[in-house]
Amino acid sequence: MLTLKLCARAEQDGLPVFFYGATQSMLDGMRKNLLKTHPKLIIAGMEPSKFRRLNAREKIELADRIRSSGATMLFVGLGCPRQEIFVYEFRDLLPMPALAVGAAFTFISGELRHAPLWIENMGMEWLFRFCMEPRRLWRRHVYHNPAYATLVTLQLLGLRSFDPNGVSPRSELLYG
């Protein structure tokens, strides 16, 4: 898992990291499990999600807390597409890489079983996760994935282009 590889490298290089998202209990489980496998990892901070869109003042305050923590890397675990929107909205507020890490928090905390390596190697982890959480993930696989693939294909074929500047995400994608 990329998140664990980056944590291992951060531990090796003495780089502090920050985790944003999930619940406090999940973050506590993550801290415990990360420090078992990476005892010298510097966790500059962990903050749970508010499970809603942050207002302008809260965004500035959160960005200030992350910056002042001394972190050199931010891991965001809010679920798709909320985490990608968060990373996009904070791109100018934070002077560090911010990575949307999917279900990494859930896996690292031990709250969700990770796919076996052979399934990962086949590129079928999405199917494993779908089988584990069909009620939560069905909409993503039925609606969002085909829509995403269609838009990427149109862009690759030069039939459509998208200007990301000034575009706000649709409200139903945010925290609903």
Residue 50 lies in a domain: yes
Residue 96 lies in a domain: yes
Render each residue's pLDDT in the chain as its tens digit; 176 residues: 789 999 999 999 999 999 999 999 999 999 999 999 999 999 999 999 998 888 999 999 999 999 999 999 999 999 878 888 899 999 999 999 999 998 889 889 888 777 788 887 888 877 777 777 778 777 777 777 788 788 888 888 888 877 766 666 555 444 43
Tell me what the pLDDT averaged over the chain comes to. 86
Residue 176 lies in a domain: no
Residue 89 lies in a domain: yes
Residue 46 lies in a domain: yes
Domains: count for the chain: 1
pTM comes to 0.76
- Please give the span between the terminal C-alpha atoms of the chain, in angstroms, as a whole number: 28
Residue 51 lies in a domain: yes
**Domain range enclosing 10:** 2-161+167-171
pLDDT computed for residue 6 by the predictor: 94
Residue 123 lies in a domain: yes
pLDDT computed for residue 173 by the predictor: 45
pLDDT computed for residue 99 by the predictor: 93
| CATH number, residue 97 | 3.40.50
